[in-house]
Structure 1
Amino acid sequence: MLEDIYKVIHERRDVRDEFLPQPLDEAVITRLLEAAHSAPSVGFQQPWNFLLIRDKKRKTQVKEIFDRASAEEAKIFNDERRELYNRLKLQGIVKAPLNLVVTCDRSRDGRTGLGRFHHPQMSAYSCVCAVENLWLAARAENIGVGWVSIYHDDELKELLKIPPEIDIIAYLCIGYVSHFYDSPELEQKGWRKRVPLESLVYHEEWPKNAQ
């Protein structure tokens, strides 16, 4: 069991273009959502909600939001980097049978604010834990997950009728896949290499020569 846990962690991948049209069984979706709902949350706030999207027309509208934002983001890179950016497949919105929006309600259980008085961002961090729980559970089920982060919040909220006070934490594409990459796709395609762990670990205090 211990080896299985580490195996799932190390083999988790961000999936983009490998989704298959095979629908997910409702029992499987429930297991993934239960895994997410079992995540730790500061003050046991449980600030998350899960918005499931299956309609192709709606997914196409979300992709249009992505396309506009992606065109904007491409402009921040120089010519060579922009060319690589434009070749990358950065989403599987329409191709994935299920899209899932994980949101954060920072006011939930607002009477106590346990653990959030000094650090209100802990509500969002708790929701990120829910995302990771779901992602690892999906990998254990041989289901792929892709995290889309290229969009304007206001456009996505308007389309999905998400209230202004609710934060979008993650837009996820979920489904069975043709294959998983042996290493992160962005690393394989030359965008960035994994940073050596030893360069990121400090002891007792932040070193003066830290990068």
Structure 2
Amino acid sequence: MAPRFSPEFREELAALLAWRRDVRHFRTDPIDEALLSRLLVTAQCAPSVGNSQPWRFVRVRSPELRAELAAHVDQQAALAGSTMTDPERKTAYAALKLHGLDHAPEVVAVFCDDATETGHGLGAATMPQTRTWSVVLAIHTLWLAARAEGLGLGWVSIAEPGAVTTMVQVPAGWRFVALLCLGYPSTPDTVPELERRGWQARLDGRPHVIER
């Protein structure tokens, strides 16, 4: 019999979703190995097209590789900032902290295995990008599970996929999806940092739902 979730659980789930925020500032406390292992297994409870389970997680343990990734992201961030023409927006961008690669206790690179035979191609023949979406669902599952354990996660998106793939040295057929920082947040908040800093406010979601 399927479980019946109580009103209290539903309230806690709503709170969990509200506290699921992109984190850039972390404490340096290490994450217990058993906890991290459990989180990475939980992430793989996510749905995937054809049950292909194409997610591949790479823990970046080497200090040298972490430094190389951080330098690459800083370079890409500076390049993105140099293309901005609005002076106020450019100043605001320069003040943002865009990653925690230099101090988060864990860094995880996430890839999609486009060459996997698991799932026998079901559901991906006409929309192969659904494998990528499956990986994103695994990341979101990890995000929620980590938050439930008091951890925060930051998705570093200012990275050139080919460069990261080369640096991390993964098997052929793996396509880069995300670079994640994981750890205990130094200043937890239900309000996204970009909103707190005036970069972009949360929109009213109702106009995004239409009927036909």
- Shift, 1:111, TM fit: 7.5
| Paired residues of 1:23 and 1:175 also in contact (CA < 8 A) | yes
| Paired residues of 1:42 and 1:114 also in contact (CA < 8 A) | yes
TM-superposition CA deviations, 1:146-190 (whole Å, max 9, x none): 000111112211111124531111110001122212300001101
* Structure 2 equivalent of residue 121 of structure 1: 129
Q: Structure 2: how far apart are the matches of 1:190 and 1:77? A: 17
Which 10-residue stretch deviates more, 188-197 or 128-137?
Answer: 188-197
Alignment of 1:1-211 (within 5 A): 1-17=9-25, 19-78=26-85, 79-109=87-117, 112-204=120-212
- Shift, 1:194, TM fit: 1.1
Backbone CA RMSD of aligned residues: 1.3
Identity %: 37
CA 140–110 in structure 1, closer or farther in 2 if over 3 Å, else same: closer
* Structure 2 equivalent of residue 208 of structure 1: none
| Paired residues of 2:18 and 2:190 also in contact (CA < 8 A) | no
- Shift, 1:14, TM fit: 0.5
Q: Secondary structure at the match of 1:167?
A: strand
Which consecutive aligned stretches of 4+ in structure 1 deviate over 4 angstroms post-superposition? Answer: none
* Unaligned segments of structure 2, at least 5 residues: 1-8
TM-score (norm 1): 0.92
- Shift, 1:110, TM fit: 6.4
Which 10-residue stretch deviates more, 185-194 or 111-120?
Answer: 111-120
TM-superposition CA deviations, 1:18-47 (whole Å, max 9, x none): x11111101110121011111100100000
Equivalent AA in structure 1 for residue 44 of structure 2: H
Q: Secondary structure at the match of 1:103?
A: strand
| Paired residues of 1:157 and 1:164 also in contact (CA < 8 A) | no
Q: Structure 2: how far apart are the matches of 1:21 and 1:88? A: 20
Equivalent AA in structure 1 for residue 136 of structure 2: V
TM-score (norm 2): 0.91
- Shift, 1:117, TM fit: 1.0
* Unaligned segments of structure 1, at least 5 residues: 205-211
